[in-house]
A and B are shown apart, each in its own frame.
Chain A
Amino acid sequence: MWRRKKTEKTNQSETNIFPLKVDALEKFFKEKFNYHDDLKFTKYTVNKKKVAVFYIDYLIEGNKLGQIIEPLVDLNPEIDLTNKNLLNELPYSSGTSTNTIEDIHKKLIIGFVFIYIEMEKAVLAYPFSMKETRSVEKAETESLVLGSKIAFSESILINMNVIRWQINSTDLVFEKFTVGTQAPREVRIVYMKSIANEDDVNTMRQRIQELDVDQIEGTIVLKQYLEDSQMNLFPQFDETELPDRLAYNVTRGKIGVLVDGSPTSFTAPATLFSFLESTEDLYMRWQAGSFLRILRFLAMIFSILVTPTYVAAATYQYAIIPSQLLISIGQSRAAVPFPPIFEALLLEFLIELLREAGARLPTKVGQTMGIVGGIVIGQAAVEAGLTSNILIIVVAMSALSSFTTPSYLFGTTIRLIRFPLIILAGLLGLAGIVFGLCWLIIHVLRLTSLGRPYLVPIYPLRLADFNKVFFRTPFSFVSKRAKSYRPKDLLRFNKKDAKQKRDIDE
């Protein structure tokens, strides 16, 4: 999408109708504006001149309005009422004058208040916009045990405020863009000027500038427009609703993107493994942090593999199951009339239903739903002879492991991958699984994120980055930023100072 060159904007003819009478202006709005019902058009007479004040009342802050109406009405009678004098008199510095209808049009719908003095050549405009937003709340989709719980809100101003306080550095840049031809939205890219890779910033900038769409529905949609390839399963940028996760990524040299009206952000470039990272790993001690990271990594592999392996082993290669285990599997499968592939798909389908129902229902009902579904239906399915006991354990474990990924999008991808693998396993046995796995590995090798390889630091191999990706080491070993993202400035602190050791009894 972003590859398409932006079509040159047709130069809209700018209409200037000023100067004119106030009544004529009111008539003009009534006839020409699509939303004249919303328009509040008030007329005053100040110092013998007619003045019109117009705005859309639900878009502006009422008390601020009073603060300019009052001085306007009580204006010193000696002052000649002109635009210039009025700009001086009113207690707001943000007033500007404008004289084209198109400009007025645009500004009205983002909450400007206009003052027009009869027969003047321009209109004064004051930005009193009021945006209703949710205040910052606790993170919901990415819940944390440790660390700051604050989450992004829908207002980009609040979000920028939060990030600024997280990274209080003069290096931090919020670059502003507008995306969308019909309903434009403000988009900001966030990066550290002295750390982020110049090429990456340029690529991101270029992609956003060249994006030619009528409108975007939010960050996640923008993310999909900007990604390297839309024809694949894996998310290529890392989305988050946690300011501290964004701050962590940005200070390591990645680029963040915020969209107005969207309570999530995303960072780029991402790697396969960045989806398994959580800021929580950093708050734990390094041993626990490493353990959790490795656990998540294994959970991902386990979640993809365990059900297909069951299907393959139960259908074709039962010789790989030791005889002790084979007896119990055989016993539990004895009552089941279906082939393993059907049995597994049925149960996976059930688990997905439970998950989806739990996500749609209100929280309290959702929890009950999970318990009822998990225990009652599972138990009943076994007793009815629809599935085997062992498969219930297998499917539950695989579902559980798929929920350990910190990124919800990535977790969904993993759950999605399982289905083709189960079918392959049912058709070809172990060969199907290995085929699917090989395909996945090649697929991931081919992927890029913002032009950078997706599987870094495994390929291209960067051993020095392993302790930032797969496990954690004490901070004295992490004096450098991850080389994989090619930051401008690799060094975080001096390694020598950190490693200095005092002698005993000193």
Chain B
Amino acid sequence: MDINVTVKSNLQIRAFYLFFIIAGVQIGVGIIGAPRFVFLEAERDSWLAILIGFLFICIVVGAMFMILQQYENADYYGIHIDLFGNWLGKLMGTILILFLAGSFLSILMTYIQVIQIFLYHGLPNWIITSLILILALYTVLGGIRVVVGVTFVFFIITISLLVVLYDPLLRLNMYNYLPMFQTPLPDLLKGAKATAYTFSGFEILMFIYPFIKDKQKAKLPVYLGLTFTTIIFILITMISIGYFSALGLKNIDWALLILVKSASFTFLERLDYIVVITWIMVIIPNLVLLMWAIAYGIKRLYNFQQRKTHYIFAGIILIVVNFFHFDYQITKLTDTIARISFWVVYIYPLLLLPIVLIKKKRKSQGGDNAS
């Protein structure tokens, strides 16, 4: 297997789409329920906790960029092979793929749960799953160009949905924010850790990077994407804190969906229905990017056709979703994935960076000795 990826020029994408890829993959199911998780830890100063999380992510992404820049055109899979050799590298790659598949399942299950609670109470898991999988399969079979296109177009469509938040924004209770800066630092850090699941997703950068056409321009859109997600996250959290009472927010599972409920027009009511159902457009980019990374990884590691991987993966998912019947199962799944993602997404690149740098240094020294 090659460490570097050779990408045809017609498959390359402009760097500026990274903004939409990063923001699109980060804003997913997590953000619907995130305000509560952060609030449970950091109370009124949740925005500080989110900012701390954001700063940490910036460091992680910086580390990712440093790792990637040591190579010509590599992704996670290639880097693993380079660092750990063929066997261990493939094992690490496979673990990553399993993690991605786990994230896929947790996103899907959370969304199914939301749909079943808000809209269709008795609808079986497999019907919703097959609807979503049809869309995801149709997208990924079109290749990376369509995957990025779907991410971009759906992001534009769905982000306009947040306009509905104008109504709760007008009904905020300012006293809910006071007194500020009371939360002790350990709680803030715990709050920051609670953002991990919501903020995760940007690890897709390590997979899609070889496909970027103008790599020297890649940094700005990525950081802007992270900033955008943070702003949206802080906005939603702060509106939730101002809108709900402290006691209420601690018991509300999906704060965002309750928030959009409050807006109504003379021709349209219950916007939460529309938001819940349109949230599928937020989920699809998440799912297709993960699916693409999984299939592409399997192709890189085991030289297996992407098309077949997609069909097999979709089949497995369609079977697996039927085993989740109860709320606590999904919560457990999400919690597990959240815990793993903290290590895989946030800590792992920081551990990898020194290894890459040391290896590079040794190589250059070895090169010097030889000459």
Is A446 engaged at the interface, CB distance under 8 Å to the other chain?
yes
Which chain B residues lie closer than 8 Å to A439 at the CB level? 134-135, 138
B285 CB, min distance to chain A CBs, angstroms: 11
Determine the distance from Cα of A317 to Cα of B119 in the docked complex, in whole angstroms.
8
A297 CB, min distance to chain B CBs, angstroms: 15
Q: Which residue from A317, A435, A441, A442 sits with its C-beta under 8 Å from B273? A: A317
Number of interface residues of A (CB under 8 A): 27
Is A376 engaged at the interface, CB distance under 8 Å to the other chain?
no
Which chain A residues lie closer than 8 Å to B150 at the CB level? 441-442, 445
A-contacting residues, B112-158, CB 8 Å: 115, 119-120, 128, 131, 134-135, 138-139, 142, 145-146, 149-150, 152-154
Count A-B contacts at CB 8 Å: 83
Is B281 engaged at the interface, CB distance under 8 Å to the other chain?
yes
Which chain B residues lie closer than 8 Å to A453 at the CB level? 145, 149
Q: Mark B250-282, 1 if CB is under 8 A from A, else 0.
A: 000000000000001111111101100110110
Q: Which residue of B lies closest to A324 (CB)?
A: B266
A320–B269 CB distance below 8 A? yes
Which chain B residues lie closer than 8 Å to A446 at the CB level? 138, 142, 146
Which chain A residues lie closer than 8 Å to B273 at the CB level? 317, 319-320, 430
Q: Which residue from B14, B265, B278 sits with its C-beta under 8 Å from A460? A: B14
Determine the distance from Cα of A480 to Cα of B317 in the docked complex, in whole angstroms.
49
Which chain B residues lie closer than 8 Å to A431 at the CB level? 115, 119-120, 128, 131, 277, 280
B-contacting residues, A322-351, CB 8 Å: 322-325
Which chain A residues lie closer than 8 Å to B267 at the CB level? 322, 325
Is B79 engaged at the interface, CB distance under 8 Å to the other chain?
no
B277–A438 CB distance below 8 A? no
A459–B153 CB distance below 8 A? yes
- With A320-B273, A446-B142 already in contact, the answer to whether A438 and B280 are too (CB < 8 A) is yes
Is B31 engaged at the interface, CB distance under 8 Å to the other chain?
no
A304 CB, min distance to chain B CBs, angstroms: 14
A435–B264 CB distance below 8 A? no
- With A317-B119, A322-B264, A322-B267 already in contact, the answer to whether A442 and B138 are too (CB < 8 A) is yes
A320–B139 CB distance below 8 A? no
Main SS class of interface, A? helix
Which chain B residues lie closer than 8 Å to A324 at the CB level? 266
Q: Mark B15-34, 1 if CB is under 8 A from A, else 0.
A: 01000000000000000000
A370 CB, min distance to chain B CBs, angstroms: 29
Is B337 engaged at the interface, CB distance under 8 Å to the other chain?
no
Main SS class of interface, B? helix
Q: Which residue from A317, A429, A430, A438 sits with its C-beta under 8 Å from B284? A: A438
- With A430-B274, A438-B281 already in contact, the answer to whether A322 and B131 are too (CB < 8 A) is no
B138–A459 CB distance below 8 A? no
Determine the distance from Cα of A115 to Cα of B271 in the docked complex, in whole angstroms.
84
Which chain A residues lie closer than 8 Å to B146 at the CB level? 442, 445-446
A455–B269 CB distance below 8 A? no
Which chain B residues lie closer than 8 Å to A416 at the CB level? none
Q: Which residue from A320, A428, A445 sits with its C-beta under 8 Å from B149? A: A445
Determine the distance from Cα of A441 to Cα of B151 in the docked complex, in whole angstroms.
11
Determine the distance from Cα of A461 to Cα of B115 in the docked complex, in whole angstroms.
32
B152–A459 CB distance below 8 A? yes
Number of interface residues of B (CB under 8 A): 34
Q: Mark A147-159, 1 if CB is under 8 A from B, else 0.
A: 0000000000000
- With A322-B264, A430-B119 already in contact, the answer to whether A441 and B269 are too (CB < 8 A) is no
B269–A322 CB distance below 8 A? yes
A233 CB, min distance to chain B CBs, angstroms: 14
B-contacting residues, A441-495, CB 8 Å: 441-443, 445-446, 453, 455, 458-461
B28 CB, min distance to chain A CBs, angstroms: 16
- With A320-B274, A430-B277, A455-B149 already in contact, the answer to whether A442 and B135 are too (CB < 8 A) is yes
Is A183 engaged at the interface, CB distance under 8 Å to the other chain?
no
Q: Mark A125-137, 1 if CB is under 8 A from B, else 0.
A: 0000000000000
- With A320-B269, A320-B274, A438-B281 already in contact, the answer to whether A445 and B115 are too (CB < 8 A) is no
A434–B149 CB distance below 8 A? no
A435–B269 CB distance below 8 A? no
Is A298 engaged at the interface, CB distance under 8 Å to the other chain?
no
Which chain B residues lie closer than 8 Å to A461 at the CB level? 16, 152
Q: Which of A320, A324, A325 has the most CB of B within 10 A?
A: A320
Is A371 engaged at the interface, CB distance under 8 Å to the other chain?
no
A111 CB, min distance to chain B CBs, angstroms: 48
Which chain B residues lie closer than 8 Å to A322 at the CB level? 264-269
Determine the distance from Cα of A122 to Cα of B267 in the docked complex, in whole angstroms.
83
B153–A458 CB distance below 8 A? yes
Determine the distance from Cα of A462 to Cα of B284 in the docked complex, in whole angstroms.
24
Which chain A residues lie closer than 8 Å to B145 at the CB level? 453
B83 CB, min distance to chain A CBs, angstroms: 35
Which chain A residues lie closer than 8 Å to B131 at the CB level? 428, 431, 435
Which chain B residues lie closer than 8 Å to A443 at the CB level? 138
Determine the distance from Cα of A443 to Cα of B271 in the docked complex, in whole angstroms.
27
Determine the distance from Cα of A320 to Cα of B115 in the docked complex, in whole angstroms.
16
Is A17 engaged at the interface, CB distance under 8 Å to the other chain?
no
Q: Which residue of A lies closest to B13 (CB)?
A: A460
Closest 5 CB pairs of A and B: A445-B149, A446-B142, A459-B149, A319-B270, A430-B277
B residues in contact (CB < 8 Å) with A: 14, 16, 115, 119-120, 128, 131, 134-135, 138-139, 142, 145-146, 149-150, 152-154, 264-271, 273-274, 277-278, 280-281, 284
12 new A-B pairs (CB below 8 Å) besides A430-B274, A442-B150?
A317-B273, A320-B273, A321-B269, A430-B119, A430-B273, A431-B128, A434-B278, A438-B281, A438-B284, A445-B139, A445-B149, A461-B16
10 contacts across the A-B interface (CB closer than 8 A): A317-B119, A319-B269, A325-B267, A430-B274, A431-B115, A443-B138, A445-B149, A445-B153, A446-B146, A461-B16
